[in-house]
Structure 1
Amino acid sequence: MVVKRRFRQVFTSLKEHSRVSYAKIATIGGFCDLDLIVVKATSPDDLPLPDRYVHELLKIFSVSASSFRAFSLSFTRRFGKTHCWRVALKCLVLLHRLLRSLPDDSPFRSEILWTRSNGLLSLYPCHFLDDSSSASEDYTMFIRSYARLLDEVLDCLSIESKEAEEDEVLESLPDKMKEVGRMLEVLPQLQSIIDRVMDCRPTGASTRSFLVQSATKHIIRDSFICYTTFRKEIVMILDNLFQIPYRSSIAAFGIYKKAALQANQLSEFYDWCKFAGLCGSYEYPFIDRIPQIQVYALENFLNGMWQLTESSSSPASLLTSTMESPLSSTEDDSDKQLVIWEKVEENAFPRKLVKDEEEEPLLQWDVVDNGNWEDLLEASIGPCKASRNNLFYHSNGYGNNMGEYGQGEEANGWQMQLYNPYASNPFYQPQT
């Protein structure tokens, strides 16, 4: 078994070195095409990817439109046939640097997506298997993780291209709502890219390789930009949380909840990178930790503002059957309708919104524009001093005291009833 593995290592090394030698000889003889450039750029040595080959490819792309398709096919052949981790890693670094260097409207990205959609290029699942080293498992795992990261980046690019096509359809919507809707599509993809970045943590013998360390630095530096963009855009989503439709608010809460967990994981990953000496300590962005109590507060606040009921429920059962949390339910809510409270009268029951009204904004609440939504979240989990049957919001705010709901006089006879999330939410787990 050892002899067979050693034979594969020698054979792979000879094959890769012969390809590079042929490419160099052909270049000296006057033959120069993209295949030869890609082979020379991805030589099986321990030197990083030379910058001159990246600049040479960019120069060719600027003068020849057909070179994009030729490069995508050359890259597919080179990456798909090799069993040397050095060659595969340099192929991925080359693709990564070209994606970063070329503008958004370049045909390069569409050609790579075309190659992937036609089954010629497979980054995930990646079928690469190293046969050139004794620690093949460590290098194979890193190559596959890196390839999956680039596949996620291509997915994000495809989403952006689809959004550009849908802009004409959404012209009737306000600019702010269009931007919020776009970010609700992009932010989950950014979170997925951050997850893939953390999966690219080298292990075993690969941590000592200079090539792997150099590629990891490229990955980490791009993650700085990705996280900074995510942190800025999630603030915009939260600022407009009360103006977006119900389903969008649930999607925004899911993003916010995952961001709280992801921030802790990303902080640990960056600590490991700093300890390994990857990039300078001054380059790392500040990780905005989200306290778990804020996640609970936002969940309880949204649960208190919205209730779901079966479309066939009778008025007598509405008060007891609408306490299920929309944020924790896993059932299909296509046959359910939203319930809001109308003017408080004796024996009054909530009315059902018709299907056309389901996509109305989450809240039509003037106090949100004047106050701080963080204060509202803190109030939603604060101790409630009112009696169990007298939990009401006033239309002009929260009464005389944030903790004394329903203690003041009615404002114009309009009130909104809330349930106690600690008593009625079967999915709630108090923090220990």
Structure 2
Amino acid sequence: MSKDTTATARHILSDIEAAIVKSSDGSEHLPDDRYVNEILFLISNSPGSITFLARRLSERVETSRNLTRVIKTLALLHRLLRGGDRFFEQDMRLLWSSGDLRISLQLHTAPFVMNYSLFLQERIEWLINPAGKLEPVRPQGLEIQDCGEDYKAAELLLYNASKCQALLDRVMACLPDSRNLQQSQLTIFALNIIVRESFRVYESFCEGFEMVLTSFFDLKRPARFSALGILRKAIWQTPKLQEFYASCKRVITGKNMEFPSIRIITEEDISSMVQFALAEEASYEEKRLMKKINGEKENQEGRASEEEWSSPFSEKLETKISTVWVVFTEGEDVPLTEGEML
């Protein structure tokens, strides 16, 4: 590497660190998006510097005792994930898997900060697809080629719906205590980013939920019970999500936000699926029990047959003494009876 190249690389790393510091200082001023754009621009010109970025973000989260600085650092990471391209997202996800990116909190126990960290740990497993929608990263198990297309489609559908529910749980956990909301504009700033992104997650969930409903009766038994778990969770999650958005409307004021209309899922909506699944399970258990009984019967018959063949002298044998004398003459093979002897 030439001196000019080395100097350029050091200059880029220095600029990245300066942008991180300015975007996540300890002041009460809200973060400026220009630093996000600056970091993404620098990374695009020097892809290898993304590891440096991940490690610097990790250090600020893990070592800082300033709560404001930690929230700003988490918000910076969140905005970078939202603003970066798919290659940036992929690299950050790999750095998370390798341990170069660490956002688990050790020095802070504030509920919002802890929940924001947990949200980002779940969020990093998602990507923004070419259509601009959020979707979970497809697991390797669904990439194998020896599975049928129908199997992969059903598994992917259930996986996406389940991941949507998991991320929405993390979103709702980020609602701060109402007593502290007016005291921290920075918290509201971070909550605003979380809530806006949750709209797209809920949109993806609604699409997946409808597909689960329409394909439920065609699913195989293991997939059907996974689908039933998703449907049952929606019964208690959707009312909770509606309450969450109602609270956010009171908190995040002066923002141009179009909250989605939440469809409340009830027991009646999934009653036919539940009854079908229970009937199928009863039939399955009955068949399994009959198969077990028939198998035990065949084993008993097999053991009885083996015992019969393994004991050829199991019946009682008797020795009988004849009163007829038999004498063999010399040189003859035919025995003489008692009358011939006389």
Pair in the same fold by TM > 0.5: yes
| Structure 1 position 242 matched with structure 2 position 212 | no
**Which structure's CA Rg is the greater one?**
2
Q: Tell me if 1:217 matches 2:215.
A: no
Cα-to-partner distance string for 1:15-45 (whole Å, 9 max, x where unaligned): xxxxxxxxxxxxxx99933222211211111
Q: Which runs of 5+ in 1 are unaligned?
A: 1-28, 130-136, 319-432
Q: What CA distance in whole angstroms lies between the structure 1 residues aligned with 2:139 and 2:30?
A: 35
1:183 is aligned to 2:157: yes
2:68 pairs with 1:86: yes
- In the aligned structure 2, how far is the partner of 1:31 from the partner of 1:116? 20
How high is the TM-score relative to the length of structure 1?
Answer: 0.58
Q: Is the 8 A contact 2:43 2:49 kept in 1?
A: yes
Pick from 106, 112, 115 the counterpart of residue 145 of structure 1: 115
Question: What are structure 2's unaligned runs of at least 5 residues?
Answer: 1-10, 128-134, 295-342
Question: Hey, what does 1:102 align to over in structure 2?
Answer: 84
Structure 1 distance, partners of 2:13, 2:226, is 55
Question: What residue identity is the alignment partner of 1:87?
Answer: R
CA apart distance, 1:66 = 0.6
Contact 1:217-1:278 within 8 A present in 2 as well? no
Equivalent-residue separation in structure 1 for 2:75 and 2:13 (angstroms): 25
Cα distance in structure 1, aligned partners of 2:250 and 2:136: 35
Amino acid at match of 1:95: L
Whole-angstrom distance in 1 between the partners of 2:291 and 2:30: 71
* Amino acid aligned to 2:280: M
**Partner SS for 2:285:** strand
Map 1:250-399 to 2 at 5 A: 250-278=225-253, 283-307=258-282, 308-309=284-285, 313-314=289-290
- The amino acid of 1:167's aligned partner reads E
Residue equivalent to 1:169: 145
TM norm structure 2: 0.72
Are 2:26 and 1:44 aligned?
yes
* Cα deviation, residue 306, structure 1: 3.6
Residue 113 of structure 1 aligns with an amino acid whose one-letter code is: R
Once residues 312 and 268 of structure 1 are traced to their aligned partners in structure 2, the CA distance between those partners, rounded to angstroms, is 44
- Rate the CA distance shift 1:317–1:32 in 2: closer, same or farther, 3 A: closer
Q: Secondary structure at the match of 2:217?
A: coil
- Partner letter of residue 214 of structure 1? F
Instruction: Specify the alignment match of 1:205 in structure 2.
Output: 180
**Does 2:45 align with 1:66?**
no
Quote how far apart the aligned CAs of 1:242 are: 2.0
Amino acid in the other structure paired with 1:152: E
| Alpha-carbon contact 1:45-1:86 (below 8 Å) kept | yes
3-state SS of 1:313 partner: helix
Q: Secondary structure at the match of 1:302?
A: helix
Instruction: State the Cα deviation string for residues 228-270 of structure 1 (Å, max 9, x = none).
Output: 1101111112211122211101101110110121000000111
Separation (CA, whole Å) in 1 of partners of 2:60 and 2:292: 69
Task: Write the letter of the residue equivalent to 2:59.
Answer: R
TM-aligned CA deviation for residue 169 of structure 1: 1.4
Matched, 1:128 2:107: yes
Q: How many Å apart are 1:159 and its aligned residue?
A: 6.2
Inter-partner Cα distance in structure 2 for 1:144 and 1:207: 19
One-letter code aligned to 1:127: Q
- What do you get for the CA RMSD once the two structures are aligned? 2.9
Distance 1:127 1:151 in 2: 15
> What amino acid is the match of 1:59?
F
Distance 1:154 1:238 in 2: 28
Cα separation, 1, equivalents of 2:159 and 2:26: 40
Name the residue aligned to 2:315.
none
How many Å separate the matches in 1 of 2:279 and 2:287?
20
Task: State the distance in 1 between where 2:41 and 2:210 align.
Answer: 40
In structure 2, do the counterparts of structure 1 residues 56 and 236 end up closer, same or farther at CA, with 3 Å as the change threshold?
same
Native 8 Å contact 1:217 1:279 kept in 2 = no
Residue 350 of structure 1 corresponds to none
The one-letter code matched in structure 1 to 2:79 is R
Query: Given that residues 34 and 74 in structure 1 are in contact (C-alpha distance below 8 angstroms), is that contact kept between their aligned partners in structure 2?
Result: no
Distance 1:82 1:297, change over 3 A: same
C-alpha separation between the residues in 2 aligned to 1:315 and 1:73? 58
Contact 2:142 2:155 in 1 (8 A): no
Aligned equivalent of 1:54: 36
Give the count of matched residue pairs.
Answer: 275
The 1:201–1:312 alpha-carbon spacing in structure 2 relative to 1, beyond 3 Å, is closer
Distance 1:117 1:280 in 2: 35
Note if contact 2:62-2:103 (Cα within 8 Å) is conserved in structure 1.
no
2:124 aligned with 1:154: yes
Give the aligned partner of residue 166 of structure 2: 192
Q: 1:47 to 1:116 in 2, by over 3 A?
A: same
CA change 1:60–1:244 in 2 (3 A) is: same
Secondary structure of 1:240's match?
helix
